[in-house]
Amino acid sequence: MSSISATASGVHDAPVVELDRIVRRFGGRAVLDGISLRVERGELFGLLGPSGSGKTTLVKVMTGIDKADEGSVHMLGEPMPKLSMLQRFGYMAQSDALYGELTAKENLVFFASLYGLKGARRSERIHDSMAVVGLLDHLNKPVGAYSGGMKRRLSLAISLLHEPQLLVLDEPTVGIDPVLRQSIWKELAKMREGGTTIILTTHVMDEADKCDRLALIKDGKLTAVGSPAALKAETGSETIEEAFIALGGGIRS
Ligand SMILES: Nc1ncnc2c1ncn2[C@@H]1O[C@H](COP(=O)(O)OP(=O)(O)OP(=O)(O)O)[C@@H](O)[C@H]1O
């Protein structure tokens, strides 16, 4: 693994996420194979790796949605999994967990109640989260009538509802058009400036370039961790795509 490590802020308090020697097996095969990683407060942290390398499994283990077979996970200093932590982070899964027969607003109200949001605050948060993803005009439409991209945007809005200090986003911009993608990235940058820690998986190289640090995963192992600039310098690459390939990444199949 690369020895490069850098934090965006230089803050050295407790990490937001700390993974220690994580192993996750499916059918005897180690899909995560001894992963140790720290994500610091306020970082925009990208997970990169070929299809099937273990990124989704890793974010599920991080958030306590899945449980590691070996190793430990701490989030905001708490050992995971822990149910009460659900209110402290926002999670956007790769496949949308939405109720198709309900309207977007009804979906949002349901998730808001899980986060303990009520009354005027709930209305305000629903409005602001849907504004971020450009769906305010579609609040009262049944989600079953949404396009794939609109469902992704609604899932992102749900993850933002309770203004969590940590956002974990699994391929947040897949199926979202370039204009909206840009505006979503602007919002993510704003949140990060406001102190939110953001961990995301991506296959999009210009998104990877916007991260403070990247972790490259291959066959369930970390092959490098560092800032985009450091990873490029380490491999003598001009672009993050070249660095990614040089460090053992691959093109999505
Ligand atoms: N519940 C499961 N049961 C069995 N195998 C699984 C399970 N979940 C994931 N896997 C396997 O673990 C490996 C890693 O999958 P994962 O979804 O974490 O990869 P990924 O890097 O997120 O891929 P992609 O970029 O395509 O989303 C794959 O081989 C996948 O088939």
In the chain, what are the domain boundaries? 17-248
The CA-atom distances, in angstroms, between 55 and each of 41, 218, 233 are 20, 9, 24
| Rounded Cα gap, residues 6 and 1, in angstroms | 14
Ligand 1: residue whose CA is nearest its atom 2: 26
**Residue 137: which residues within 8 A CB-CB, separation 6 or more?**
none
Q: Among 23, 25, 26, 47, which is best to mutate for testing ligand 1, by the most ligand atoms less than 8 A from CB? A: 26
CA of 52 relative to ligand 1 center, distance in Å: 5
For residues 27 and 60, the answer to whether their CB atoms sit within 8 Å is no
The alpha carbon of residue 247 and the mean position of all alpha carbons in its chain are separated, in whole angstroms, by 22
Q: What is the pLDDT of residue 226?
A: 96
pLDDT digits (tens, 9 = 90+) for 149-160: 899 999 999 999
Instruction: Give bridge partners of residue 221 from the DSSP assignment.
Output: 218
Q: Among 22, 24, 31, which is best to mutate for testing ligand 1, by the most ligand atoms less than 8 A from CB? A: 31
Q: What is the pLDDT of residue 4?
A: 41
CA of 61 relative to ligand 1 center, distance in Å: 12
Residue 220 alpha carbon, nearest atom of ligand 1: 14
Ligand 1: residue whose CA is nearest its atom 16: 54
pLDDT digits (tens, 9 = 90+) for 75-126: 999 999 888 888 899 999 988 789 999 999 999 999 999 999 999 999 999 9
Smallest Cα–Cα separation from 188: which of 205, 204, 164? 164
Q: What is the DSSP string of 118-168?
A: -HHHHHHHHHHHHHHTT-GGGTTSBGGGS-HHHHHHHHHHHHHTT--SEEE
- Assign domain 17-248 to its CATH architecture: 3-Layer(aba) Sandwich (3.40)
pLDDT digits (tens, 9 = 90+) for 12-50: 478 999 999 999 999 999 999 999 999 999 999 999 999
Cβ neighbours of 67 (radius 10 Å): 11
CA of 56 relative to ligand 1 center, distance in Å: 7
pTM of the entire structure? 0.90
Residue 54 alpha carbon, nearest atom of ligand 1: 18
Does the structure show a pLDDT above 50 at 2?
Answer: no
Q: What is the pLDDT of residue 3?
A: 39
- Identify the residues whose C-beta falls under 6 Å from ligand 1: 26, 31, 49, 51-57, 94
Ligand 1: residue whose CA is nearest its atom 3: 26
E-assigned strand segments in the chain: 17-26, 29-39, 44-48, 70-75, 78-79, 89-92, 166-170, 197-201, 213-218, 221-226
Ligand 1: residue whose CA is nearest its atom 20: 52
Does the structure show a pLDDT above 70 at 146?
Answer: yes
Q: What is the pLDDT of residue 250?
A: 61
CA of 145 relative to ligand 1 center, distance in Å: 29
Please count the helices (runs of H) and the strands (runs of E) in the chain. Answer: 8, 10
